[in-house]
Structure 1
Amino acid sequence: MSQHKDHPLAAQRQLADLIGKDRFAMLTEPGTGELLESRPMTLLEFDAQGLLWFFCRRQADARPHPVNLAFSDEVHSTFVSIAGRAEQVDDRERIHALWTAAARPWFPDGPDSPDLALLKIVPLKVEYWDAPDSRVVRGLALAASILSGSPVGLGEHGVLSSVRSEPAPR
């Protein structure tokens, strides 16, 4: 496992490359009781400060809380887990800027839907697993590992730190 203590911009670029064009993630957060609950979310923006933005339903209890985002690209065997903090944001200007017609089934009144808010994810720890070889190569390596009884390298596992940059002074 490698741990990167890169400059935030380098870590942001690597995270953007790992997520790629995959805009779908599973969001896991505290549910009722001791249970965790997950739901699919569509990433709207990964901004210059390293924050991830999603549309969400406005919650009465909008306190920041811990979350985990899981991105999976099975075609390229890239998996990303982002542990962080979620904060509900009511910013109509940003909602309008990020609005897409694909959100209309969940928010039929469009960007002015009264129950529409933004969910800002502040990443605190990013872990990734990346196996760049083809599926066939990975399958053969796995079979060789099973037959030989020894571990075989199936890709890179790492931790990105310092993904967030401080906003530029105004």
Structure 2
Amino acid sequence: MAGKSLADLSEKMRKIDFCMMSTKTSSGAIANRPMSNNGDTEYDGDSYFFSYDNTSKITDIDRDPCVTLAFCEAPSILGRPGMFISIEGKASLVRDRGIFADHWVKDLERWFPQGVETPGLLLIKVHADRLKYWDGEDNGVIEA
């Protein structure tokens, strides 16, 4: 399928639980860490991730909100590589517990045992500026 749309990428992302989130540290180095999208993939250009507020990624985002998210689909049963998706965007930090509830799933209690009332909980919202994808011979860019 040439010329994929945002809806096409959303469908693929729905099946990929984890991505790598990249931020820039105070020394200019790139820091990466795995993040779960919590199955919250009705993708409209915004990605959401829960975190504690006292982590290095939050310090990085406070200093420079430019982030990259990298998704990789599993290979097919025939061994064909899965799709790769890279999202460049701006992160913002959401502290509104009402918004937390819109993105909360029970599985998150593994990391945040008090649910949306967990002390220090916040939501990282990444608004995409540009999405790149590679799917076999098909690749492209979507400007958000």
Q: Is the 8 A contact 1:51 1:121 kept in 2?
A: yes
Structure exhibiting the larger radius of gyration computed from Cα positions = 1
Is 1:23 equivalent to 2:28 in the alignment?
A: no
Aligned residue number for residue 108 of structure 1 = 113
Larger mean CA deviation between 92-101 and 71-80 belongs to 92-101
Equivalent residue, structure 2, for 1:119: 124
Residues 57-110 of structure 1, C-alpha deviation per residue, up to 9 Å, x if partnerless?
225756361000000013142000001111001121121232223222322222
Aligned residues: 132
**Amino acid aligned to 1:71:** F
**Aligned twin of 1:33:** 27
Deviates more, 1:25-34 or 1:92-101: 92-101
Aligned structure 1 segments of 4 or more residues deviating by more than 6 angstroms: none
> Partners in 1 of 2:85 and 2:126 — Cα distance?
14
Identity %: 27
Where does 1:135-150 land on structure 2 (aligned, <5 Å)? none
- Structure 1: runs of 5+ lacking an equivalent: 5-9, 132-154, 163-170
Contact residue 13 and residue 41 of structure 2 kept, 8 A: no
CA RMSD in angstroms comes to 2.3
Aligned to 2:96: 91
Aligned runs of 1:22-101 on 2, under 5 Å? 22-44=16-38, 45-47=40-42, 49-59=44-54, 63=62, 65-76=65-76, 77-101=82-106
Contact 1:18 1:80 in 2 (8 A): no
Look up the equivalent residue of 1:104 and give its one-letter code. Answer: E
Name structure 2 gaps, 5 residues minimum: 77-81
1:124-163 superposed matches below 5 A: 124-131=129-136, 155-162=137-144
TM-score (norm 2): 0.79
TM-score of the superposition, structure 1-length normalised? 0.68
